[in-house]
């Protein structure tokens, strides 16, 4: 049987997962009476809630087209820059890629990032211009933009000769010519089979077994499961194998207990095993992890693993030591938190965990606030209680000059024309440099900037306020540059509780003129907890428990019901981006609270004087 391995790569929200849904449906994966879910590949709870892909996942379809029956292994990848580590490691498993570009939005920063990785590996790309049925779609402009991007990224002549196809993933059709209507995805299937070469490693089917582990997960019944493409030989249940690290040192020996192949949305065990070129998951080892080589006992050389871009942002995750600690979560000890973070770092190569100098605290470095926010949200749902610091950028030192280097990001912003002035003004104050600005149609302007990563920490909320919620900000790590100097932060002060107890509606009603509340009436608070944002620049210690003094005077209008403005409750990402260096976010399964690191106000003032 013919075999093809492809990855679907694109910027966030350009329709990858929806297109995979249509490919699965039209290849006969679902039975006629089977209920199908929208975005079937987004199986994780957070992926469904946020509407984005977080983890790279494998599926496989059988296509009976012009070239006969072909098995196509498809890898759906995340589009958000924070999860770029997922894309980097899976591209080594495939021989070609379908690069999806929105027919209205065109080429975006993450398109550039994923395309650069694919071209570097020598993959043969197919350009799919998706959503051509949108009102403001301009497929010809997007095709030219994509060609310019290929040329700018240093594509070879063979890669520049890429085929292109027009599609509507949601409607489930694709066509090579917009003047020739189509009602299915057969042209895309046939183009994949024609253009993507079969795995070259199929020729090594008679050599000893060897495979590079690319994805890792755990199963309650099978234990550790490692996914990768078989580089040579056959994987059969019962085969004795060993695991080698990148340096070729042996980690462990074991036997393959199960060979699982991707068949549609399910993984099926293969009794007779699988041959070189196929993407499979293997169970049976307990220590081997991502980037390790699984091989026959007779082999001693490790397969080269793709280098992963370094993390750019870090934050401290520590044990929750607030007065309300341990009341809502079941996992609160530093040992349990440490084990969970190390387990995450093992399966997610873009995250790095180190023990910090502080007691019971760990330094977690990743690609961005969203990636770290997703990790903390997962821990919160598992019953963990933790305290999190403000994100900091990961600096590097120039080996030649010894000067401090900071991460720089490419930023692309689409906003209504009336808001361009305020956006450019705010970002220029944060040391961003304007590269390009042009109208993008439908009354919108596209602004391209180069900005230090640290100036974007906490800016998303301010950006949405400035653009009345209509702006779209996309960013992707570009390179390291010399440190740009201090950036003035514009955040207002906060209202801090000065005692422990439950908030009173009367006290909050009186405090509303001071600023915006983060808590409602009848909620537990403690000394040092942040209960709102001050309308001025300085922090203010307030008493949110003060009750109304009762008297025996009954004047008209004296006892009117107190109506409070609903509190502004920050989400986890908003809270992480909002806090300052002397503050923490307390995360429990039931609540997200903001607090000062130093709870006692007299110690806080003393510390400010020392600083």
Q: How far apart are CA 383 and CA 99, in angstroms?
A: 39
State yes or no: 190 annotated in a binding site. Answer: no
Q: Name, of 89-93, 269-273, 487-491, 519-523, the range with top average pLDDT.
A: 519-523
Dihedral sign from CA coordinates of 433, 434, 436, 442: positive
Tell me the average pLDDT across 93-122: 83
The three-point CA angle 257-216-73 to 5° equals 85
Instruction: Check whether 113 has a pLDDT greater than 80.
Output: no
Average confidence score pLDDT of the chain: 83
> Which pLDDT belongs to residue 585?
92
Note whether 337 and 514 are within 8 A (CB): no
Tokens of 514: 């001071």
133 is in an annotated binding site: yes
pLDDT at 160: 87
Q: For position 38, what pLDDT does the model report?
A: 53
Task: Tell whether the model's pLDDT for residue 15 goes beyond 60.
Answer: yes
Rounded to whole angstroms, the Cα distance separating 568 from 512 reads: 12
SS3 469: coil
Q: Is 132 annotated as a binding residue?
A: yes
Q: Is 15 annotated as a binding residue?
A: yes
The predicted structure's pLDDT at residue 525: 92
180 is in an annotated binding site: no
Question: Which H/E stretch holds residue 463?
Answer: helix 459-466
248 is in an annotated binding site: no
Could you give the 3-state DSSP secondary structure of residue 409?
Answer: strand
Tokens of 351: 């995250």
What pLDDT sits at residue 47?
65
Whole-angstrom distance, CA of residue 55 vs CA of residue 604: 42
**Residue found under tokens 């495979």:** 211
Tens digit of each residue's pLDDT (9 = 90 or more) over 568-590? 888 888 888 888 888 899 999 99
C-alpha distances out from residue 257 to 179, 224, 277, 281, 298, Å: 53, 11, 20, 11, 19
Q: Which residues contact 35 (CB under 8 A, 6 or more apart)?
A: none
Q: Tell me whether residue 14 is annotated as binding.
A: yes
Q: Three-state SS across 237-299?
A: CCCEEEEECCCCCEEEEEECCEEEEEEECEEEECCCCEECCCEEEEECCCCCCCCCEEEECCC
Residue 303: the pLDDT is 85
Is 465 assigned a ligand-binding role in the annotation?
Answer: no
Residue 179 CA to residue 274 CA, distance in Å, equals: 43
Facing residues of 410 across strands?
A: 450, 476
Assigned token pair, 440: 């993008």
**Following DSSP, what letter does each residue of 515-565 receive, concatenated?**
EEES--TT-EE-TTEEEEEESSSS-EEE-TTPPPPP-S---TTTTPPP-PP
Predicted pLDDT of residue 35:
43
As a whole number of angstroms, the distance between CA 370 and CA 84 comes to 12
Query: What pLDDT, on a 0 to 100 scale, did the predictor assign at position 558?
Result: 52
Q: What is the DSSP letter of 207?
A: S
Residue 543: both structure tokens together:
């008493």
Round to whole Å and give the CA distance between 453 and 476: 9
Q: What's the rounded mean pLDDT across residues 282-302?
A: 86
pLDDT at 529: 92
> Which residues, at least 6 apart from 542, have a Cβ–Cβ distance to it below 8 Å?
495, 496, 497, 498, 511, 514, 531
Q: CA 40 to CA 600: how far, in whole Å? A: 50
Least confident range of 9-18, 172-181, 385-394: 9-18
Report pLDDT digits (tens) over 337-355.
988 898 888 777 778 888 8
Strand duo 2-10 + 96-102: pairing: parallel
The whole-number pLDDT of residue 415 equals 86
Q: Give the three-state DSSP class for 360.
A: coil
Q: Is residue 261 within 8 Å of residue 237, measured between CB atoms?
A: no
Read out DSSP for 415-444?
EEGGGHHHHHHHHHHTT-EEEEEEEEETTE
Lowest-pLDDT range of 479-483, 502-506, 549-553? 549-553
Give 81's pLDDT tier (boundaries 50, 70, 90): low
Return all residues near 545 (Cβ < 8 A) that are at least 6 apart: 499, 501, 502, 503, 504, 507, 525
For β-strands 444-452 and 404-416, DSSP reports them as antiparallel
Domains of the chain, each with CATH number or no CATH: 2-198 (3.40.50.300), 202-296 (2.40.30.10), 397-482 (3.30.70.240), 494-549+563-608 (2.40.50.250)
The answer, yes or no, to whether residue 557 has pLDDT greater than 60, is: no
Q: Are 274 and 263 spatial neighbours (Cβ–Cβ below 8 Å)?
A: no
Partnered with residue 494 across adjacent β-strands are 533
In 3D space, the residue among 529, 525, 497, 519 whose CA is nearest the CA of residue 565 turns out to be 519
Residue 390 pLDDT > 50: yes
- Asked if the model's pLDDT at residue 32 lies above 50, the reply is no
Count of CB atoms within 10 A of residue 206's CB? 10
d(CA 172, CA 472): 27
- Residue reference for tokens 């997960």: 217
Classify burial at 10, counting beta carbons within 10 Å of its beta carbon; exposed 0-12, middle 13-18, buried 19 or more. buried
What's the mean pLDDT in 153-166? 87
Q: What is the pTM of this model?
A: 0.79
């Amino acid at each position: 049987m013919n075999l093809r391995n492809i990855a679907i790569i694109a910027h966030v929200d350009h329709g990858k997962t929806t297109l995979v849904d249509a490919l699965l449906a039209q290849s006969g994966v679902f039975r006629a009476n089977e209920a199908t879910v929208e975005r079937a590949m987004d199986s994780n709870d957070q992926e469904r809630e946020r509407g984005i892909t977080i983890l790279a996942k494998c599926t496989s379809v059988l296509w009976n087209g012009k070239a006969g029956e072909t098995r196509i292994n498809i890898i759906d990848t995340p589009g958000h820059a924070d999860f770029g580590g997922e894309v980097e490691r899976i591209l080594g498993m495939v021989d070609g890629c379908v690069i999806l570009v929105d027919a209205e939005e065109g080429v975006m920063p993450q398109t550039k990032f994923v395309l650069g990785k694919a071209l570097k590996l020598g993959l043969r790309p197919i350009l799919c211009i998706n959503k051509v049925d949108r009102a403001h779609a301009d497929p010809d402009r997007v095709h030219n933009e994509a060609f310019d991007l290929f040329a700018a990224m240093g594509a070879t002549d063979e890669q520049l000769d890429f085929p292109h196809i027009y599609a509507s993933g949601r409607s489930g059709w694709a066509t090579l010519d917009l003047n020739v209507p189509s009602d299915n995805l057969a042209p895309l299937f046939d183009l994949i089979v024609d253009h993507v070469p079969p795995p070259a490693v199929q020729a090594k089917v008679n050599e000893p077994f060897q495979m590079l582990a690319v994805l890792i997960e755990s199963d309650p019944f099978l234990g550790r499961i490692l996914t990768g493409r078989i580089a040579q030989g056959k994987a059969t249940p019962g085969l004795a194998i060993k695991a080698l690290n990148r340096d070729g040192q042996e980690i462990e020996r074991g036997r393959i207990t199960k060979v699982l192949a991707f068949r549609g949305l399910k993984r099926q065990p293969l009794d007779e095993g699988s041959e070189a070129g196929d993407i499979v998951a293997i169970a049976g080892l307990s220590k081997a992890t991502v980037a390790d080589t699984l091989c026959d006992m007779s082999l001693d050389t490790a397969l080269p693993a793709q280098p992963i871009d370094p993390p750019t942002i870090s934050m401290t995750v520590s044990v929750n030591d607030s007065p309300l600690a341990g009341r809502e979560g079941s996992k609160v000890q530093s040992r349990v938190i440490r084990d969970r973070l190390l387990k995450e770092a093992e399966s997610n190569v873009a995250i790095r965990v180190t023990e910090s100098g502080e007691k019971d605290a760990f330094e977690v470095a990743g690609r961005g606030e969203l990636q770290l926010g997703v990790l903390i949200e997962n821990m919160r749902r598992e019953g963990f209680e933790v305290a999190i610091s403000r994100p900091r950028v990961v600096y590097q030192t120039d080996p030649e000059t010894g000067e401090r280097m900071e991460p720089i990001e490419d930023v692309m912003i689409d906003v209504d024309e009336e808001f361009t002035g305020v956006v450019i003004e705010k970002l220029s104050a944060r040391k961003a440099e304007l590269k390009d600005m042009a109208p993008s149609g439908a009354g919108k302007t596209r602004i391209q900037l180069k900005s230090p990563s640290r100036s974007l920490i906490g800016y998303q909320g301010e950006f949405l306020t400035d653009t009345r919620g209509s702006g779209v900000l996309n960013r992707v790590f570009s390179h390291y540059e010399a440190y740009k100097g201090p950036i003035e932060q514009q955040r207002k002060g906060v209202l801090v509780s000065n005692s422990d107890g439950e908030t009173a509606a009367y006290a909050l009603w009186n405090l509303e003129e001071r600023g915006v509340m983060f808590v409602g009436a009848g909620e537990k608070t403690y000394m040092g907890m942040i209960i709102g944002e001050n309308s001025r620049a300085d922090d203010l210690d307030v008493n949110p428990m003060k009750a109304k003094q009762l008297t025996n005077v009954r004047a008209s209008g004296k006892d009117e019901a107190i109506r409070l403005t609903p509190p502004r409750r920050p989400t986890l990402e908003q809270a992480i981006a909002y806090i300052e260096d002397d503050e923490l976010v307390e995360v429990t399964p039931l609540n997200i609270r903001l607090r000062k690191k130093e709870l006692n106000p007299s110690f806080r003032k003393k510390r400010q004087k020392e600083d």
